[in-house]
Amino acid sequence: MADKLTRILYVEDEPDIQTVARLALETLGGFTVEICSSGNEALSRAPVFQPQLILLDVMMPGMDGPTTLKMLRALPQFADTPVVFITAKVQAGEVADYKKISAVDVIPKPFDPMTLSNQVQAIWERCHG
């Protein structure tokens, strides 16, 4: 069995979504969650926090999710870290594009706070099964 998932970095610019996701992941999932409001913040905080999995919004001001993912992948310690997009942009072609740039999965917005931690855990287990 792989390492237990404990540390998640969530990059999301909407404060309301940040709050709901943190509650869902920490309270229901028992995870330690670090939240960043921008791609640039994620690039500076990720090396310190050392997340095991990264949740990433697609549409953010400044640096969008796909660009943030490319920048994170350029850092050797995040070359293989599972990244999951959380986005409302979930047309088949969009999801295929996210997977082409190395996202392991996509969770549609609005997500269900009651099932979010289970979804994240299932993705982790699939990546490390």
Could you tell me the two tokens for 64? 């969008």
Per CATH, which fold does 7-128 belong to? Rossmann fold (3.40.50)
In the prediction, which pLDDT does 2 show? 54
**Rounded CA separation 44/41 (Å):** 5
Quick: pLDDT tens for 103-127: 999 999 999 999 999 999 999 999 9
Amino acid at 35: I
In the prediction, which pLDDT does 129 show? 73
What band does 1 get if pLDDT is binned at 50, 70 and 90? Answer: very low
Quick: pLDDT tens for 13-28: 999 999 999 999 999 9
**Rounded CA separation 60/54 (Å):** 15
Rounded to an integer, the average pLDDT of 43-64 is 97
Residues 107, 12 contacting (CB under 8 angstroms): no
Percent of the chain with pLDDT over 90: 96
Q: Please give the backbone phi and psi of residue 32, each rounded to the nearest 5 degrees, phi first.
A: -95, 125
What DSSP assignment string belongs to 56-102?
EES--SSS-HHHHHHHHHTSGGGSS--EEEEES---HHHHHHHHHTT
**Domain chopping of the chain, boundaries:** 7-128
Residue 102 clears pLDDT 70, i.e. is over it: yes
**pTM for the complete prediction?**
0.96
